């Protein structure tokens, strides 16, 4: 349903709907009904949309310029309205959740029934033992699930909402959670609205409200109040409240100011969220695949367990014993905790990525990270430092020779007043007035677009001041990727109106008819002069500079009242060019080298000219052997179909003068070829490409909220090299999942096969029900979980990207776990038969030796599973502290089971001598030795056949 107002909640939290279309339609219908009901209820936006700006300011006792004025008033409002957060209700107390685990699992219910039957038959020891085992098994599962929930809650708090707040007359960039009604908010293109706002000022303002209303077209907003009497029931529908900006919606065009009228649950979004907070969140694709794997394994296990029970009863064994062993085997063999451990591993990995400045917003994206084979990266702010400085200024009037450029980087004197000719002054003035950056006293710096900030920072060097406050801005034409320029209509004290324009030099030059000479007088712009400007702009771009052109036009009386539109900006007087420097980040070059070694195709996409793009690409290590083949400009891209682009894109490393629409075409062409694409972006118009890419990557500092919403990953430091660490982490997480899967399944197969073989050969059962349950705790508990947090091996980046269709249980993993299980089975049966042969019957010593042998095998197996191809002597014994602690505690637990009298009665064990333990350690270490030999021969084969490594 297109009009489902809750769709955005699922995308925001990174959840994916179930694949069943009938269930999906039913869920969407219920969601839509609930949302419509929630939105129809009265709230702050309904009240204030019918009030004028003056009435709103009066009622909330706030100021349209300075915001709230009193700290005491702020504290009172904070206490009254609470935090500006929408939080889902708790599911209930922990003890209720814990107790529910005893009745939700049918296998646990069977064990409870078994304990009850044992008690009725007088076997109180068995009843107590089984009850204790049930408590331990349920506790381990509950702790895992609780850890998973808490990890996911932590993920949702990694990208807190921020806003531009004016309070006590000072502007700051702050968290939205602290807003109260009456606060003054500035918002611009790409921002997310932080609360329900009554708009008091708007410039070319359009807001995307699809997250709330389901309507895809942005809504034009103004400051005019809405008259309720124009509606039949007197209630203004949410889609008609055009003077309200809703919490969670996104600014598509323009900018404005608004007064907070509703926060938290008293917002329109809050009403919907509260209504739907109880909807169950669907599982991730990896969890679905783990569920399917678990069901398949469960089916096989049930068949084997059923046969074991049937054969045992036919052989005349006690049915209660066979029943208890069968249920215990089912609990141990069926990996019901697998999806939980997968979630914990993914969530912990994502939290680890966050510490490395990469916030993954959606858990399924972790799977895709290891498959990425093409990275399309924006230049500014990602490959470069995003700290703009004015490097060179050139004006046609005073510097008519293209080689005569004012190089500010080489000018040693602090003051540049001597270079302030009239045309240079006019160029800087246009840069000053065509500018939306503002100075924040709280942060002691300018806030806004880096380009705007750089232009303002340059003024004092020339002895000029920021004069925006002395002029009145009548209209503004905001910059966007299609227009490629910004225009502002300003009026001075005498009422004289002038349009000031800055933008891409091709666009500005095309609209110019005159130029400003050295004395500030306009002259005719001839074709020869145009060629000189073009040559100079290209020369500046060849130095790796971003080139902007500046122009102005004085309006006559007939033009003053007309609306400022793109077509009306013409007959400009060209003032000059400014080349801005944004040096490459020092971490980018080594990161690109490592990606190229790992078979990842790195593509730079920029709106800058071809010359600028090539210069930067060579600095950061992107191969540009032949610019004619390696570089594609936006003009050429416009003439190509998706199929044509797909055919040539393999050798293209740079796209210059590219628009966000071009990004979309590039991603589409790459995906058509079957590539797995990561795409970076920071602007509003980048959102479609970010959403289409397999991994959309947005910028945390300079990125717009629209881009963050569409992305799968946010780089909090805007640094390209962080993508490398995220891919490395993603590959490492997938490798860890395979490792603990090998450990779990090999233990499960070994335990099941051991009892099956003993029953088939008419031997006594080597393990009793309690011992099997203890093995299950080790298999699903801390040792398995600790494998999921194994530190990432940097060597994973040398492996080529994984295929999207590659299964978790690859042939190599299957061969490894079957070999490991066989080793455990043979070793354990050898110990069991050897011990039994000494006295001709099964004693407590025999089962204790067998039980301890299996547990030791498990611990050595866990040690071997820390890495699939590297020896433990290479990765180090102490690099995973959690693993060492988990194995240490497991061994302590095993010692308690065979040496403490209470546990001896529970597990039916007896004391072993030091010689027995040494003998068992020697036998059980064979699984570790065999796996070390496998890794050794793998390494030899990798050295002899390097291509073999890429297929494993």
pLDDT along the chain (952 residues), means of 10: 33 36 40 48 82 93 92 91 74 71 62 65 62 67 62 57 88 89 91 92 85 73 88 79 90 89 85 55 56 68 73 74 67 60 73 82 76 87 82 85 76 76 93 88 77 91 91 85 86 88 92 92 93 91 89 80 80 94 88 88 87 88 86 88 86 87 88 89 78 87 75 84 85 83 85 80 79 76 79 79 75 89 93 85 89 94 90 88 90 92 88 94 95 88 61 48
Instruction: Give the pLDDT confidence score for residue 382 in this predicted structure.
Output: 81
Burial class (CB within 10 angstroms; exposed 0-12, middle 13-18, buried 19+) of 131: middle
The dihedral through the CA atoms of 787, 792, 794, 799 has a sign that is positive
**Where along the chain do the CATH 3.40.1110.10 domains lie?**
389-581
Q: For domain 335-353+726-943, give the CATH superfamily.
A: Calcium-transporting ATPase, transmembrane domain (1.20.1110.10)
362-384+585-716 is classed CATH 3.40.50.720: no
774 vs 904: CA distance, rounded Å: 13
798 vs 721: CA distance, rounded Å: 16
> Which runs of E-coded beta strand occur in 716-805?
none
Q: Which of 892, 890, 864, 858 is nearest to 877 (CA)?
A: 864
Task: Give the three-class secondary structure for 447.
Answer: strand
593 vs 600: CA distance, rounded Å: 10
Q: Which residues contact 30 (CB under 8 A, 6 or more apart)?
A: none
Secondary-structure percent of the chain, ordered helix, strand, coil, rounded to 5: 55, 15, 30
**Where along the chain do the CATH 1.20.1110.10 domains lie?**
335-353+726-943
Instruction: Give the pLDDT confidence score for residue 259 in this predicted structure.
Output: 96
SS (H, E, C) 300-338: HHHHHHHHHHHHHHHCCCCHHHHHHHHHHHHHHHCCCCH
Instruction: Give the pLDDT confidence score for residue 945 in this predicted structure.
Output: 65
How far is the first Cα of the chain from the last one, in angstroms, to the nearest whole number? 43
Beta bridge partners of 256: 187, 202
178 vs 686: CA distance, rounded Å: 30
Element (H, E) at 474: strand 472-477
Q: Which of 739, 730, 690 is nearest to 714 (CA)?
A: 690
Instruction: Give the pLDDT confidence score for residue 783 in this predicted structure.
Output: 81
733 vs 347: CA distance, rounded Å: 10
Instruction: Give the pLDDT confidence score for residue 801 in this predicted structure.
Output: 82
935 vs 720: CA distance, rounded Å: 34
Asked if 695 and 713 count as a contact pair (C-beta separation under 8 A), the reply is yes
The active-site residue, picked from 378, 452, 675, 694, is 378
From the CB of residue 105, how many other CB atoms can be counted at a distance below 10 Å?
A: 18
| pLDDT tens column, 18-65 | 334 334 434 443 444 444 444 555 678 888 999 999 999 999 999 999
| pLDDT tens column, 417-465 | 888 899 999 999 999 999 988 887 766 778 778 889 999 999 998 999 9
Q: Which of 666, 734, 868 is nearest to 368 (CA)?
A: 734
> Catalytic site residue 378?
yes
Residues in the chain: 952
187 vs 189: CA distance, rounded Å: 7
Element (H, E) at 817: helix 811-839
Beta bridge partners of 581: 389
Asked if 890 and 783 count as a contact pair (C-beta separation under 8 A), the reply is yes
**Where along the chain do the CATH 2.70.150.10 domains lie?**
23-88+159-276
β-strands 546-554, 572-581: how paired?
antiparallel
**Among the four given CATH numbers 3.30.460.10, 2.70.150.10, 3.40.50.10790, 3.50.50.60, the one describing domain 23-88+159-276:** 2.70.150.10
Return the ∠ at Cα 412 (arms to 410 and 418), rounded to 5°: 100
Instruction: Give the pLDDT confidence score for residue 156 in this predicted structure.
Output: 53
**Where along the chain do the CATH 3.40.50.1000 domains lie?**
362-384+585-716
Burial class (CB within 10 angstroms; exposed 0-12, middle 13-18, buried 19+) of 527: exposed
870 vs 793: CA distance, rounded Å: 10
Q: For domain 389-581, give the CATH superfamily.
A: Calcium-transporting ATPase, cytoplasmic domain N (3.40.1110.10)
Asked if 699 and 718 count as a contact pair (C-beta separation under 8 A), the reply is yes
Instruction: Give the pLDDT confidence score for residue 842 in this predicted structure.
Output: 81
């Amino acid at each position: 349903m297109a009009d489902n107002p809750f769709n955005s909640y699922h995308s925001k939290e990174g959840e994916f709907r179930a694949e069943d279309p009938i269930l999906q339609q039913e869920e969407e219908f219920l969601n839509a009904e609930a949302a419509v009901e929630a939105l129809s209820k009265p709230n702050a936006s309904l009240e204030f949309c019918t009030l004028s700006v003056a009435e709103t300011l009066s009622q909330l006792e706030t100021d349209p310029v300075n915001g709230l004025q009193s700290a005491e008033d702020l504290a009172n409002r904070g206490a009254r309205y609470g935090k500006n957060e929408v939080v889902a209700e708790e599911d209930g107390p922990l003890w209720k959740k814990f107790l529910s685990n005893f009745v939700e699992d049918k296998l646990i219910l069977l064990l409870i029934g078994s304990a009850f039957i044992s008690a009725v038959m007088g076997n109180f020891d068995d009843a107590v033992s089984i009850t204790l085992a049930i408590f331990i098994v349920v506790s381990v599962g509950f702790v895992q699930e609780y850890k998973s929930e808490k990890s996911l809650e932590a993920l949702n708090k990694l990208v807190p909402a921020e806003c531009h707040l004016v309070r006590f007359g000072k502007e700051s960039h702050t968290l939205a959670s602290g807003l109260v009604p009456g606060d003054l908010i500035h918002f611009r293109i790409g921002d997310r609205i932080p609360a329900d706002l009554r708009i008091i000022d708007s410039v070319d303002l359009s807001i995307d409200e699809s997250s709330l209303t389901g309507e895809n077209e942005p809504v034009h907003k103004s400051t005019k109040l809405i008259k309720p009497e124009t509606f039949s029931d007197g209630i203004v529908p949410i889609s008609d409240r055009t003077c309200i900006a809703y919490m969670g919606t996104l600014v598509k065009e323009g900018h404005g100011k608004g007064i907070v009228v509703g926060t938290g649950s008293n917002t329109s979004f809050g009403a919907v969220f509260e209504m739907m907070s109880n909807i169950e969140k669907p599982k991730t694709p990896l969890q679905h695949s783990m569920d399917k794997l678990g069901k398949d394994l469960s089916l096989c296990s049930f068949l084997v367990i059923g046969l074991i029970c049937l054969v045992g009863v036919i052989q005349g064994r006690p049915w209660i014993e066979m029943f208890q062993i069968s249920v215990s085997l089912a609990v141990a063999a069926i990996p019901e905790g697998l999806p939980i451990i997968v979630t914990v591993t993914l969530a912990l990995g994502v939290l680890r990525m966050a510490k490395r400045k990469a916030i993954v917003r959606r858990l399924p994206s972790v799977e895709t990270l290891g498959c990425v084979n093409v990275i399309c990266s924006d230049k500014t702010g990602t490959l470069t430092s995003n700290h703009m400085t004015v490097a060179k200024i050139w004006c046609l009037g005073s510097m008519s020779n293209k080689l005569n450029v004012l190089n500010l980087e080489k000018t040693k004197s602090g003051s540049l007043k001597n270079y302030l000719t009239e045309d240079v002054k006019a160029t800087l003035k246009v840069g000053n007035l065509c500018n939306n950056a503002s100075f924040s006293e709280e942060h002691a710096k300018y806030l806004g677009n880096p380009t705007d900030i750089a232009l303002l920072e340059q003024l004092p060097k020339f002895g000029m001041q920021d004069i925006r406050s002395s002029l009145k801005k009548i209209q503004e034409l905001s910059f966007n990727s299609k227009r490629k320029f910004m225009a502002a209509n300003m009026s001075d004290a005498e009422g004289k109106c002038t349009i000031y324009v800055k933008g891409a030099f091709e666009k500005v030059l095309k609209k110019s008819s005159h130029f400003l000479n050295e004395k500030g007088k306009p002259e005719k712009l001839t074709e020869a002069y145009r060629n000189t400007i073009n040559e100079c702009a290209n020369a500046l771009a060849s130095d790796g500079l971003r080139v902007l052109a500046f122009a102005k036009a004085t309006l006559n009386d007939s033009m003053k009242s007309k609306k400022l539109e793109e077509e009306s900006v013409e007959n400009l007087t060209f003032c000059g060019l400014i080349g801005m420097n944004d040096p490459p980040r020092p971490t980018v070059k080594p990161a690109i080298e490592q990606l190229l070694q790992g078979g990842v195709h790195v593509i730079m996409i920029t709106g800058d000219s071809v010359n600028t793009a090539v210069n930067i690409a060579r600095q950061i290590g992107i191969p540009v052997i032949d610019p004619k083949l390696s570089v594609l400009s936006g003009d050429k891209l416009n003439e190509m179909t998706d199929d044509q682009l797909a055919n040539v894109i393999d050798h293209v490393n740079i796209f210059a003068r590219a628009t966000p629409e071009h990004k979309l075409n590039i991603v589409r062409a790459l995906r058509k070829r079957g590539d797995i694409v990561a795409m970076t972006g920071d602007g509003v118009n980048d959102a479609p490409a970010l959403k289409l890419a397999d991994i959309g990557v947005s910028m945390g500092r300079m990125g717009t909220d629209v881009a963050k919403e569409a992305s799968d990953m946010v780089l909090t430091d805007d640094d390209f090299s962080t993508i490398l660490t995220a891919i490395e982490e993603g590959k490492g997480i997938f490798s860890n999942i395979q490792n603990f899967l090998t450990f779990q399944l090999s233990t499960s197969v070994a335990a099941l096969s051991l009892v099956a073989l003993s029953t088939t050969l008419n031997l006594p059962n080597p393990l009793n029900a309690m011992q099997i349950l203890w093995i299950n705790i080790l298999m699903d508990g801390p040792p398995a979980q600790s494998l999921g947090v194994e530190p990432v091996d940097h060597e994973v980046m040398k492996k080529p990207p994984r295929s999207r269709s590659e299964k978790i249980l690859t042939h190599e993993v299957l061969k490894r776990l079957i070999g490991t299980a066989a080793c455990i089975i043979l070793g354990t049966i050898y110990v069991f038969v050897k011990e039994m042969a000494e006295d001709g019957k099964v004693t407590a010593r025999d089962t204790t030796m067998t039980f301890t042998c299996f547990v030791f095998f498990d611990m050595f197996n866990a040690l071997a599973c820390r890495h699939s191809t590297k020896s433990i002597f290479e990765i180090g014994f102490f690099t995973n502290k959690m693993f060492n602690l988990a194995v240490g505690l497991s061994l302590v637990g095993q010692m308690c089971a065979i040496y403490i009298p209470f546990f001896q009665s529970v597990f039916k064990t007896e004391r072993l001598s030091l010689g027995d333990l040494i003998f068992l350690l020697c036998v059980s270490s064979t699984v570790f030795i065999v796996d070390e030999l496998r890794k050794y021969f793998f390494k030899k084969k990798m050295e002899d056949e390097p291509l073999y490594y890429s297929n494993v």
